[in-house]
Structure 1
Amino acid sequence: MNHRPSTVLIVGATGSIGRHAVAEAQRQGYAVRALVRDRARAARLLPEGVDLVIGDLTRPDTLGPAVEGVDAIVFTHGSTTSERDVRDNDYAGVANVLRALGGRRARIALMTAIGTTRPGVAYAQWKLRSERLVRASANPYTIVRPGWFDYHQPGQRKIVMLQGDRRQSGSPADGVIARDQIARVLIESLHIDAADRKTFELVADHGPAQDDLTTVFESLTPDSVGSLDAAEDTVDLPVTHEPETFRHDLAAILVGIPRAAE
């Protein structure tokens, strides 16, 4: 990573994780831009000093002003467990923002979910496809798969990063994490070199939070350059068998790679 980003776009800024991400980014000294659909609502929910830019993740033609001039993008948006909602919002939002970049480089932090690689789970497969687009984009990135929100106990603050996505019960037994800790990890990944090209499940263990997450990131295996999938995942989704929507988006992003390297 060549430099610490200075201007960060938060996607999903008014959501329950996004609001924490905005506050954390401000605390760490970033200039924060928020992609919002309703300026008045966002102004009520977000702190002063945030640059509110109107746009809609589902409408690519509205995203140009949001990505103009930013050098980092944090995706905190998320919908339901409906396949249609995840496809049309979670996945499409990532695809549309990456394409709006037009090949310009930006540091990416993407939040998906623990259990993203569960076989046969249709909505999870669309989250996985959004991860694949980020890996294919040639941008520096970190992909964070949080455990279950709001099931943690007060003393459960030690941040734990796992790989391989092996916890697949679909319940809080897979791991829990506080919302503010998810935001902290997303924002800190932007400036820690060891976080680049890392994909991991994020949960909390009993004990205090670490002051510095560098060594935690350093313990992780980086994703292989050129691979669409995470380093320790087991995934059986051949691109040739993937939906046309994904293959079209992937091709469009791959075309942008030479411009990203300029």
Structure 2
Amino acid sequence: MKLTIVGASGTLGRQIARRAIDEGHVVRCLVRNPRKAAFLKEWGAEIVKGDICKPETLPPALEGADAVIDAATARPTESVSIRAVDWDGKVNLIQAAARAQVGRYVFLSILNAEAFPNVPLMEIKHCTETFLAESGLKYTILRPAGFMQGLIGQYAIPILDGQAVWVSGDGTPVAYMNTQDVAKFVVRAVEVPEATNRSFPVVGPRAWTASETIALCERLSDKTARISRLPLGLLRFMYRLTRFFAWTRNASDRLIFAEVLASDKPMNAPMDETYAILGLDPQEMSTLEEYLQDYFGRILKKLKEIGYEKEKAREKKKKKRSPFKTKS
């Protein structure tokens, strides 16, 4: 199939592109900066420069596509707002896909988006789901809860570096999934006719609270976390404060996502139907223990190698400075 992937240079998008190429699909990637997406071309994808916020740039990326995979989202550090990308941009893309008569539109949403109308990103995701369902396009909506990759910067690196790990209470359990596994579901959703006009949860084998995840990182790294607790009330105040400034609005909208993680609604869902319809084996999916064990194993091995090399360099330096030198 001919697939157009939007957001292919992101954490999840690149895994989708890699999987689709490996499965033999013809992959075209819509990117804003082709130079930063050169690795996609090296993998075998066609690169088309465009921006979902500029609808006039979209037709070349959609021409002849059997399906669009939409994994794009605004980054917290970008100057363009979440609403401009995740709502206005998605409306542009959905309308352009309908005009191009694309056969299927696969949208990456977020689990339980409809339950948090006061959280900007969740509200936008839910509204986009509704807009897509009413667009006339054949669609599939996949709803992950969280990615294992995000836990590296949130917990693993601070624990290894002896830095503070910030948490706002124990929070709701989240069924994290490896982005490589999410990519399997995305590509299968394109291939399976039974997934048409359906929404599916895409979550990991079990849900983990913040304290459980931190305890796992401590055990695997053999280090103790320095935990700093941030009251939810303070986060709400910071959200209101940062909303005053245009350049901090993306970070602000992400900040209020703490409301989701501090709620009583677990980010988890039954996966039996998802696995059955998409024809995937749950035994082939990574567990969080396996993912973090692999990460800490590789990092700790590298740190030992670096420490060994530094020790050798010090010993060499000591020998050069030895006072017991033979006088000529």
Q: TM-score, normalised by structure 2?
A: 0.53
Q: How large is the Cα RMSD of the aligned pairs?
A: 2.9
Change over 3 Å in CA distance of 1:40–1:119 after alignment to 2: closer
Alpha-carbon offset, residue 171 of structure 1 = 5.6
CA distance in 2, matches of 1:26, 1:123: 30
Residues 1:14 and 2:1 aligned together: no
CA distance in 2, matches of 1:54, 1:36: 5
Residues 1:215 and 2:276 aligned together: yes
Give, as a single letter, the amino acid of the residue that structure 1 aligns with 2:276: T
Please list every run of 5 or more consecutive structure 2 residues that lacks an aligned counterpart in the other structure.
Answer: 152-168, 207-270, 280-328
Change over 3 Å in CA distance of 1:151–1:58 after alignment to 2: closer
1:55 aligned to which of 50, 54, 64:
50
Aligned length: 193
| C-alpha contact (below 8 Å) 2:4/2:28 kept by paired residues | yes
Aligned to 1:125: 123
CA distance in 1, matches of 2:171, 2:139: 27
Matched ranges for 1:216-235 at <5 A:
216-217=277-278
CA distance in 2, matches of 1:95, 1:38: 21
Aligned to 2:163: none
Aligned to 2:27: 32
Residues 145-186 of structure 1, C-alpha deviations (whole Å, 9 max, x = no match): 111111799xxxxxxxxxxxxxxx996613211111111111
2:89 aligned to which of 69, 87, 93:
93
| C-alpha contact (below 8 Å) 1:151/1:172 kept by paired residues | no
CA distance in 1, matches of 2:19, 2:170: 29
Larger Rg: 2
Alpha-carbon offset, residue 216 of structure 1 = 4.2
| C-alpha contact (below 8 Å) 1:194/1:214 kept by paired residues | no
**Structure with higher RCO (Cα < 8 A, 6+ apart):** 1
Change over 3 Å in CA distance of 1:45–1:28 after alignment to 2: closer
Change over 3 Å in CA distance of 1:120–1:152 after alignment to 2: closer
Matched ranges for 1:1-262 at <5 A:
6-44=1-39, 47-80=42-75, 85-101=81-97, 102=99, 104-117=101-114, 118-150=116-148, 173-205=173-205, 215-217=276-278
CA distance in 2, matches of 1:74, 1:180: 15
Alpha-carbon offset, residue 17 of structure 1 = 0.5
Give, as a single letter, the amino acid of the residue that structure 1 aligns with 2:50: G
CA distance in 2, matches of 1:46, 1:187: 19
CA distance in 2, matches of 1:98, 1:27: 26
Identity of aligned residues (%): 27
Residues 20-63 of structure 1, C-alpha deviations (whole Å, 9 max, x = no match): 00011111111000001111211135543211001011111111
Q: Alignment partner of 2:186: what SS? A: helix
CA distance in 2, matches of 1:203, 1:46: 30
Q: Alignment partner of 1:177: what SS? A: coil
Higher strand share: 1
Stretch moving more, 18-27 or 71-80: 71-80
